Structure 1
C-alpha cells in the first residue's frame, strides 16, 4: 500500500479504446470487484462525516474477502473519502485501483494545473486514459473491472450520491446485468434511484427496474450495508441479492454464534414501491435492531435447548449401557452406581431441556415483526408533524414489546 508521499503506480493507456490486460497493468486477476461510484465534486462536511464510517466498514470487509476496489483516481469527491477510509484501517487493506482522464489529474510530483487535481495517494494503481473531460474514463474503468474480475468473479457497484459521470457508469454497469447497492440519503443520483426520482422514459430507470438493485439508507448504519455487500461478493455472477435460507443444522453448536443482521424486506423493495421508502427506512432504524436482538436471543435459547436434548439422549444411552453391564456382571456394584447417576442426569437434563426455550422471547420477536409490517401498511403521513408523532409512537411500541411482560391471551 503506498503512502501519502509515494502515490500510486501510474499506468497510461495509449488510446482510450486500448485493450486492458491485468498483467500488463500489474493488476490482480480473478478477484471480486467493488466499483465505488459517486460525485467528482467535494461532498459537504456533514455528509462526508456520515459516509466515512460506512466506507471504512465496507473497505475493511472488502479486504477480508480479498476483493479489489475500483474508483476514480482523482483525490476528490467520494474517491477522496475512499482514500481516507483506507488510510484509517488497521491491519489488512484492500487493493485500490483508480481510473481517470489524463487531462484532469496531475501525476507524480507535477503540480496540478488549472482544472486538474492530484491523484489519490492511497491508491495502489492509477490508470490514466487519454481525455480532458470527466466521463471519458468510464469505458476504460469497466474494462479494468472486467480484467480484474474475469468471467467467474462477482462485481458490485456501490453508488454514493453522484451526477452525470456516475449516471454514465451506472448505465454501463447495469447494462451488464451486474448488481448495484445504492446508499440512499447521500443525495444526487443515489437518492433519485432510491426514491423514484428517475423519469419514466429514462433509460436508467428501465435498467434499475429490470436490474438487481438493493437500497440501504445511510442512517441504517454500516452493518446493513456490509451485510448486502457480503452476500453479493460471496456469490457467483447472476446470484440473487437476497440470501437463501439455510437448512437447520442437525447437531447443535457448542459455541453459539449470532447470525448477521439481515433486511426484513428485500433490499430492492423500495424501487418497486417508492412511496414506502420513508416507512421502510423508519422501520429499519427503529424496529429492525430490536427484532434482530430478540431473534438472536430466541435462537440462542433454542440452541441451548437442543444441546440439552442431545445430552439427555446421551445420558439415556449411557443408562442403557450401564444397565446391560449390571446384568452381565451380576454382583459387581459399580455398574449400578453409574446406572443410578446416569439415569438421574438424564432425567434432570430432560426436565431442563423441556423448559430451555424461552417462549416470551419468541413472542416478542413475532410482535416486533408484526409491528414492522403494520408500520409499512399505515397510510403515508400528511405532514412532518404527523411523521414525527408516528416515529415517537413506533419507538414507544418497540420499547413496550421489548421490556413489558408478554401477554398470554
Structure 2
C-alpha cells in the first residue's frame, strides 16, 4: 500500500487517492484517506450508452433528484467506477449540482486512468471524474479488473450499515459488477428502460419462459433484485432506496 495522493482537478475540486495492491490492506487504506466507520453505502454501476435523448434526460434527472439527494440527506457513501464517463460522470455532476458534501468514491484500475495534471501517456487512458472526493486505485490495466474491488470497498465501508446497488444501462463489465455485488449479498435495483443490460435483465425477469443468458439467469436465481421503470414517478424510487438505506435487516420486497 502506497502513501495517499492529494489530487487537484482543473475545476478546483480536490480529492484523496490511494493505490492498493492487496485487498487485505483495504481497511487501512480507506482509513488513510479519511474513510472509516460504518455508514450506508449506495453502489452505482452501469453506463449510459445507446440511450435515446429522452431516456438519457430521465436518467440524469434520477441522479439529480433521487440518488444525490438521498446520499446527501443520509450522508451515505456512494461508490462507483470513478471515471469521467457514463453514470460515473452523472453521479459526479449531480453531486456538484446539489452542492453535495457526501463522500463519492471511485474505484478504477491504475493502468487505465490518467491523474489530473499528468501528461497523457495513451489515448486509451481515461480521466478521473473531477467531482469525486476519493479514489481507490487497484491493480490492473483492463476494464473489469475493478469489479471485485468495487464490491469489496463497498462492503468494507458499509460495515454493519445497509448497502444497495443501482444498475443503469450497462454492458459486460456491468454484468460482472452486478454479479460481484450479488455475491456480497447486496440487493440490486435495475432501472428498467435505461437500455442494454438493465433491459436484458428486465426481460428475463418479466418473461421467465424465454431463455436468458446463463449469468443473468444466475443473477435472478441468487440475487435480491427489484425492477424500477424509468417511466414511473421518481418519488417511488426515492422512497424505496431511503427505506433500505435507513433500516437494518429489512426484508427486500
Runs of 4+ in 1 over 6 A off after TM superposition: none
Deviation at 1:212, TM superposition (A): 1.7
Cα deviation 1:9-39 (Å, max 9, x = unaligned): 22111x2645311313321420110000012
Where does residue 72 of structure 1 map in the other structure?
Answer: 81
Where does residue 64 of structure 2 map in the other structure?
Answer: 56
Contiguous gaps of at least 5 residues in structure 2? 1-7
Counterpart CA distance in 2 for 1:200 and 1:51 is: 25
Contact 1:73 1:79 in 2 (8 A): yes
Instruction: Give 1:100's match in structure 2, choosing from 91, 105, 108.
Output: 108
Cα deviation 1:129-162 (Å, max 9, x = unaligned): 1211110011211221122101x11110000011
- Cα–Cα, structure 1 residues 185 and 42, in superposed 2: closer, same or farther, change >3 Å? closer
Higher helix share: 1
Counterpart CA distance in 1 for 2:236 and 2:68 is: 14
Task: Specify the SS of the correspondent of 2:31.
Answer: coil
Cα deviation 1:228-275 (Å, max 9, x = unaligned): 101111121x42234xxxxxxxxxxxxxxxxxxxxxxxxxxxxxxxxx
Q: TM-score, normalised on structure 2?
A: 0.85
Where does residue 240 of structure 1 map in the other structure?
Answer: 251
Counterpart CA distance in 2 for 1:44 and 1:200 is: 24
Contact 1:7 1:119 in 2 (8 A): no
- Cα–Cα, structure 1 residues 167 and 72, in superposed 2: closer, same or farther, change >3 Å? same
Task: Specify the SS of the correspondent of 1:19.
Answer: helix
Task: Specify the SS of the correspondent of 2:186.
Answer: coil
1:151-162 matches, within 5 Å, as 152-162=160-170
Instruction: Give 1:36's match in structure 2, choosing from 36, 44, 49.
Output: 44
Where does residue 229 of structure 2 map in the other structure?
Answer: 217
Counterpart CA distance in 1 for 2:171 and 2:213 is: 18
User: After alignment, is 132-141 or 43-52 more displaced?
Assistant: 43-52
Task: Specify the SS of the correspondent of 1:11.
Answer: strand
Where does residue 355 of structure 1 map in the other structure?
Answer: none
Where does residue 10 of structure 1 map in the other structure?
Answer: 17
Where does residue 121 of structure 1 map in the other structure?
Answer: 130
Contact 2:155 2:184 in 1 (8 A): no
Q: TM-score, normalised on structure 1?
A: 0.54
Instruction: Give 2:97's match in structure 1, choosing from 85, 88, 101.
Output: 88
Instruction: Give 2:26's match in structure 1, choosing from 13, 16, 20.
Output: 20
Instruction: Give 2:186's match in structure 1, choosing from 170, 178, 183.
Output: 178
Contact 2:51 2:194 in 1 (8 A): no
Contiguous gaps of at least 5 residues in structure 1? 243-409
Higher strand share: 2
Structure with max Cα Rg: 1
1:113-152 matches, within 5 Å, as 113-150=122-159, 152=160
- More relative contact order, 1 or 2 (CA 8 Å, 6+ apart): 2
Deviation at 1:44, TM superposition (A): 5.7
Deviation at 1:102, TM superposition (A): 1.0
User: After alignment, is 19-28 or 161-170 more displaced?
Assistant: 19-28
Task: Specify the SS of the correspondent of 1:8.
Answer: strand
Deviation at 1:220, TM superposition (A): 0.9
- Cα–Cα, structure 1 residues 7 and 208, in superposed 2: closer, same or farther, change >3 Å? farther
Cα deviation 1:365-399 (Å, max 9, x = unaligned): xxxxxxxxxxxxxxxxxxxxxxxxxxxxxxxxxxx
Q: CA RMSD in A?
A: 2.2
